[in-house]
């Protein structure tokens, strides 16, 4: 430290520790904002990938509907194919979170690496958000007219 620098603020440690810090609140708001943006970007990514997959498989979906598949079966199929990568990523992410938390146990105060609230909030938020991203392509696939789909694919 430079001995020529002036002392800007001085006082007892107890007084400065009682003062509320905006730095912690700002970090919390900023982290929450980044988490929300990441969830929205993930939902948009899942939506675009599943929407592209539905567009590529228009003929298959039209054929399934023409052969008697119910609309709810088509929606269930779109949801199951779209949620498989989400659930795999969720399992890998939770495993990595627990593994990293076990390594950084000295930095965690008041929680354990396998805290159930951490897993519950991530699971419900991610699955719900990505499930919402699958809703529009699933509805579009279920409302597909089989004759139009088959006619459209023959013209290509």
- Tell me whether residue 44 is in a domain: yes
Residues 137/78, Cβ–Cβ less than 8 Å: yes
- Tell me whether residue 22 is in a domain: no
Helices 58-66 and 22-56 pack at an angle, to 10 degrees, of: 60
- Tell me whether residue 8 is in a domain: no
Q: What is the mean pLDDT of the chain?
A: 76
- Tell me whether residue 12 is in a domain: no
Q: Does pLDDT of 121 surpass 60?
A: no
Residue 79 lies in domain: 35-154
Residues 89/129, Cβ–Cβ less than 8 Å: no
Q: Does pLDDT of 119 surpass 60?
A: no
- Tell me whether residue 40 is in a domain: yes
Domain count of the fold of the chain: 1
- Tell me whether residue 14 is in a domain: no
Percent of the chain with pLDDT over 70: 71
In whole angstroms, what is the distance from residue 67 CA to residue 82 CA? 23
Quick one: pLDDT at residue 122?
52
Over residues 31-43, mean pLDDT? 85
């Amino acid at each position: 430290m430079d001995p020529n620098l002036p002392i800007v603020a001085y006082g007892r440690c107890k007084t400065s520790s009682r003062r509320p810090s905006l730095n912690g609140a700002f970090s919390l708001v900023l982290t929450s904002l980044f988490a929300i943006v990441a969830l929205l970007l993930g939902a948009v990514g899942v939506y675009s990938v599943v929407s592209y997959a539905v567009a590529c498989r228009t003929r298959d979906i039209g054929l399934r509907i023409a052969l008697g598949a119910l609309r709810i079966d088509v929606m269930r199929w779109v949801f199951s194919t779209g949620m498989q990568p989400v659930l795999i990523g969720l399992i890998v992410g939770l495993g990595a979170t627990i593994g990293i938390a076990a390594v950084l146990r000295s930095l965690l105060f008041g929680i354990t690496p396998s805290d159930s609230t951490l897993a519950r909030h991530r699971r419900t938020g991610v699955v719900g958000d990505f499930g919402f991203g699958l809703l529009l392509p699933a509805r579009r696939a279920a409302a597909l007219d089989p004759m139009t789909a088959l006619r459209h694919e023959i013209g290509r």
